[in-house]
Amino acid sequence: MLNKYPLWKNLLLVAVLGIGLLYAMPNLYPPDPAVQVSGQSSGMQIDQTTMERVSRALDAAGIEHFGELANENGKSGLIRLYDGSMQLRSQRIIQRALGDGYIVALNLASTTPDWLSNLGAQAMKLGLDLSGGVHFLLEVDTDTAITNRLEQYTTGIKKALREERIRGFVTLEDNGSISGVFRSEELRDKALQTIRKEYTDLTTQRSESGDGENFTLLATLGEGKRKEIEDYAVGQNLTTLRNRVNELGVSEPLVQRQGSNRIVVELPGIQDTAEAKRILGKTANLEFRLEAKYDAPVSDREQFEYRNPGAGEPTAWLERDVVITGERVANAQASFDENGMPQVSITLDSEGGTLMHRVTRHNINRRLGVLFIERKSRTRYEKDESGEEQVIKTPYDEKKIISLATIKDALGVQFRITGLDAPGESTELALLLRAGALAAPIDFVEERTVGPSLGAENITLGIKSVQIGLALVALFMVVYYRVFGVVAVAALAFNIVLLVACMSILGATLTLPGIAGIVLTVGMAVDANVLIFSRIREEIRNGLSAQHAIDSGYGRAYVTIMDANITTLLVAVILYAVGTGPVRGFAVTLSIGIVTSMFTAIMGTRSIINLIYGGRRVRKLAI
């Protein structure tokens, strides 16, 4: 009997090894530290002139750099640094040179050769605990959330009193209380009864005015209700940010609450931190308001600028009352209208559709304005007591009209927003609306890039653990199994190459627990070979010939190996399903490692053994 694989099996193994080496190669090219520049709006272009300004600013500061290049689509530009420790300083210098209209973010630029990138080969993603990723600490503006809720109450109280034909003057005071002024005590008491009936969340009380002619009431939020609104705002923002991170396509993200009003966002392996910062940071809410009538009192209307002013009036007056907000948007898709201009097709939820229909059916031929709200910040630089320059950012809300169109028919659940400049703008607006509106604005309190300098120790220790494990296993196998041990070590190296290649192809994220999974995989792969080689020794002792012993050893050990590995694979799948973060990283690496180790330990070693012993008669095996 001669042990031989058919030609197709040998060719398959060679092809798998070649593909594995090809797709594992990008991991040999470490990324360069870089700073990325992009516009605050998706329609802003970054050209080579902008990048030259960036280059001059860094030259003036004595920071060495190279490869300053604007992308072909004009959306962003990238400048690479020789020293990763200069990233933060470079970011501050560039931000000051360009001003508030730009987003300057830290990044890691790929150094994978173009010929590999063209084949779709990319380095595997590393978790934040190794080398690569961005850490954001966000603060939720809960005061704005409370103010927004009080404004809703104020609008609702006005409507309720109007329906009850109770005349009075209701306003939201700067101290956070809602005041109502009436001409008689009877009207005030009726208003109190109406408010207490409709708005049980508010605490109401009488307040006599000084002149004796006006009768006043005050409505305030209790501490319990304020806490509830704050918790809702943080919780809603937490959910919305998770949705936005999912829209960005980030693997293994971390979005969690920290303290009463802060949220931590960690994006490992992110390639476009500027885009992430813009998408996460934008409030990007919408308000639909009717155009104010020309004779409406100033207290009932507001003046806003157009986001993209044309040849007409630069501003328009809208009613203060909001028909619906972006929170009622169930879906949004970017598309083009009949004239090829970008638009966003919006689908409302049932309550939003009902409100929109109720208002628009009574206001045919009036104009409906769409107000776009963005949270922005102004930057100024001041020196502290020690002479160090400090960056101070002051947040503010920018509200501008993006559409003011005449209502031809009553609107329902579905309608379109037009008046957008570019396809990129419509795509970004649709993404933000689809991912959900923020319940309150958020401010970036801290931004930190975890790069090779911070993850170097973890990477070094992780690689060292794999090397030590591999060396000890190789030493044992070669000493104990001789030629067969050398074959097992070769298959083990093949296994690690395949594991890295599979993780790169699948886009799996390697974390520190994932490295532990690789070390475990090394042991499990050798365990299969130990079972096979022990069975071959046993068959030789039972008197079988060398060729029969090899065939019988692989055949009889196969069932045991499959049983053990499938059981472990099921455990890894369960760990991935119920675990989070580090546990998932371990489960992913272990699952891929089990599959590759079964392939290399069974087919790989059998192929090499067949090449060594299968083509001739053998009297004795070196095992």
DSSP line for 26-56: GGGSPPEEEEEEEESSTT----HHHHHHHHH
The pLDDT > 70 percentage for the chain reads 89
pLDDT category at 23 given cuts 50, 70, 90 is very high
Q: What is the pLDDT of residue 450?
A: 65
Q: Return the higher-pLDDT residue of 56 and 275.
A: 56
Question: Which of 65-69, 101-105, 431-435 reaches the highest mean pLDDT?
Answer: 65-69
Q: What are phi and psi of 203, to 5 degrees?
A: -100, 120
Q: Is the pLDDT confidence value at 582 over 80?
A: no
Among the four given CATH numbers 1.20.1640.10, 3.40.30.10, 3.10.350.10, 3.40.50.1980, the one describing domain 7-26+455-614 = 1.20.1640.10
Q: What is the pLDDT of residue 56?
A: 93
Q: b or e along 355-394 (b: 16 or more beta carbons within 10 Å of the residue's beta carbon)?
A: bbeebbeeeeeebbbbbbbbbbeeeeeeeeeeeeeeeeee
Q: What are phi and psi of 204, to 5 degrees?
A: -110, 150
Identify the CA nearest to 242 among candidates 195, 192, 280, 190: 280
Q: What is the pLDDT of residue 272?
A: 58
Average pLDDT over residues 376-400: 77
Beta bridge pairs of residue 344: 334, 417
Going from N- to C-terminal start, the domains of the chain cover 7-26+455-614, 32-109, 250-319+329-449
- Looking at residue 75, the DSSP 8-state letter turns out to be S
Cα(412)–Cα(306) distance, rounded to whole angstroms? 25
Q: Is the pLDDT confidence value at 425 over 60?
A: yes
Q: Is the pLDDT confidence value at 90 over 70?
A: yes
Q: Is the pLDDT confidence value at 401 over 70?
A: yes
Q: What is the pLDDT of residue 454?
A: 59
Angle at alpha carbon of residue 340, lines to 335 and 346, rounded to 5°: 25
pLDDT tens sequence across 217-239? 899 988 888 898 898 888 878 87
Place of tokens 């308001």: 289
Q: Is 133 helix (H, G, I), strand (E, B) or coil?
A: strand
Q: Is the pLDDT confidence value at 554 over 70?
A: yes
Q: Is the pLDDT confidence value at 452 over 60?
A: no
H or E element at residue 443: strand 442-449
C-alpha distance across the termini of the chain, in Å = 19
Beta bridge pairs of residue 449: 134
pLDDT category at 252 given cuts 50, 70, 90 is low
Q: Is the pLDDT confidence value at 456 over 90?
A: no
Average pLDDT over residues 162-173: 87
Q: What is the pLDDT of residue 316?
A: 92
Q: What is the pLDDT of residue 571?
A: 92
pLDDT category at 437 given cuts 50, 70, 90 is low
Q: pTM for this structure?
A: 0.60
pLDDT tens sequence across 323-371? 988 778 777 788 888 888 888 888 888 788 888 998 999 999 999 988 8
**Structure tokens belonging to residue 368:** 């409906």
Q: Return the higher-pLDDT residue of 44 and 191.
A: 191
Question: Which of 122-131, 172-181, 275-284, 581-590 reaches the highest mean pLDDT?
Answer: 172-181
Q: What are phi and psi of 380, to 5 degrees?
A: -135, 160
**pLDDT, mean over the chain:** 83
Cα(376)–Cα(374) distance, rounded to whole angstroms? 6
Q: What is the pLDDT of residue 345?
A: 86
Edge-first strand order for the sheet with 414-417 is 329-336, 342-348, 414-417
The CATH class of 32-109 is alpha beta
CB 358 within 8 A of CB 424: no
Q: Return the higher-pLDDT residue of 1 and 473.
A: 473
Q: Is 262 helix (H, G, I), strand (E, B) or coil?
A: strand
CATH of domain 250-319+329-449: 3.30.1360.200
- Determine the longest span between alpha carbons in the chain, in angstroms: 119
Q: Is the pLDDT confidence value at 131 over 70?
A: no
**Structure tokens belonging to residue 404:** 């003011």
